[in-house]
Amino acid sequence: MTAPAELLDAARSGDAGAFERLVAPYRGELLAHCYRMLGSLHDAEDAVQESLVRAWRGIGGLDERGFVRAWLYRIATNRCLTALERRGRRELPVDLAPGTPTAEVSWLEPYPSAESGYLAREGVELAFVAALQRLTATHRAVLILREVLGFSAREVAEQLDTSTASVNSALQRARAAIGSASQTQRAVLRELGDEAVGEIVRRWSEAWHAGDVDAIVAMLTDDARYSMPPVPEWYAGKDDIRAFLLRGPMRVRWRFLPTTANGQLAFGTYRWDDGERRYLPGGLDVLTVRGGRVAEVTAFLTADLTRFGLTAPGTRA
């Protein structure tokens, strides 16, 4: 295996293959970083691609062999900051301010966390990423680089071309804006244990397969929320959700395939189409679990389910 120092030397000499091998270990975490910053998988992929092009063009000026990762994050963060100057933040329906013109809303997208390594999966839960979108771009970058990725204040200051004092001040403001974080879904699921989590997955999918609205509602917390971006309307509480399910989703047959998204339990959903005589993609439901019950369902109606390792079920009715 070629040492990173040798790869860097070769890349600086114009070896594109060496450059690809040099940056390959960082692609997954860079994608997750850009997703946290931008709230969109598609925008994040564009930002990573642009960042790597810029890195390749500037590789000849990188002299410090031990700082490849920090250098890549500097480029990627600045690409994200530039992108954020051109558009507003991304939203979830439950976070929209009353009266917001929904035609102007850019919606938060789900993240296929299973595609990346452990580091990339950290800090991508929906609630956290949604909260990040409400920070200024610079505060967002500082919080992610310091709290999620563990860069020092000095390193972040170098990446953002600012002072350590400014970084520390921005971090305090970002923490205050986001508030105290609740227990992460990773911790919640680990505390429940594999058997209990498996039981939630089984019961939830079986209830939907059977069209059993009572079983679905029984698994909800009293204050559960249900949203379906890009539809702006959302529902709160068991009665509201039950009424919505009965007048809409429960009128067709469903198949739910378990997966993960944003480090949370998720299901690819497929609705039966009589005309096509097969199940068609219906969206990606990301679940937030609390106390062994489902506290929130965010159903991303336009998600590409193939990105989450799913293929459509068979045509059996």
Q: Classify each residue of 79-92 as buried b or exposed e, where b means 16 or more C-beta atoms within 10 Å of its C-beta.
A: bbbebbeeeebbbb
Q: What are the residue boundaries of the structural domains of the chain, listed by start?
A: 4-178, 185-308
Reported as a single tens digit per residue, the pLDDT across 191-240 is 999 999 999 999 999 999 999 999 999 999 999 999 999 999 999 999 99
- The Cα–Cα gap between 282 and 299 comes to 9
| Contact (Cβ atoms closer than 8 angstroms) between residue 281 and residue 291 | no
Predicted local confidence at residue 316, as pLDDT: 52
Predicted local confidence at residue 88, as pLDDT: 78
CA distances from 195 to 182, 190, 199, 221 (A): 23, 10, 6, 20
Per-residue pLDDT of the chain (317 residues; tens, 9 = 90+): 566 788 888 988 899 999 999 999 999 999 999 999 999 999 999 999 999 999 999 988 776 655 789 999 999 999 999 999 988 789 999 998 776 777 778 999 999 976 555 555 668 999 999 999 999 999 999 999 999 999 999 999 999 999 999 999 999 999 999 886 667 898 999 999 999 999 999 999 999 999 999 999 999 999 999 999 999 999 999 999 999 999 999 999 999 999 999 999 999 999 999 999 999 999 999 999 999 999 999 999 999 999 999 987 765 54
Tell me, which fold does domain 4-178 have in CATH? Answer: Butyryl-CoA Dehydrogenase, subunit A; domain 3 (1.20.140)
- The Cα–Cα gap between 55 and 61 comes to 10
Q: Which two tokens stand for residue 254?
A: 């469903």
Which 3 state secondary structure label does DSSP give 15? coil
| Contact (Cβ atoms closer than 8 angstroms) between residue 47 and residue 76 | yes
Which CATH code fits 185-308? 3.10.450.50
Q: Which two tokens stand for residue 3?
A: 């040492």
Q: Which two tokens stand for residue 38?
A: 């931008």
Reported as a single tens digit per residue, the pLDDT across 279-299 is 999 999 999 999 999 999 999
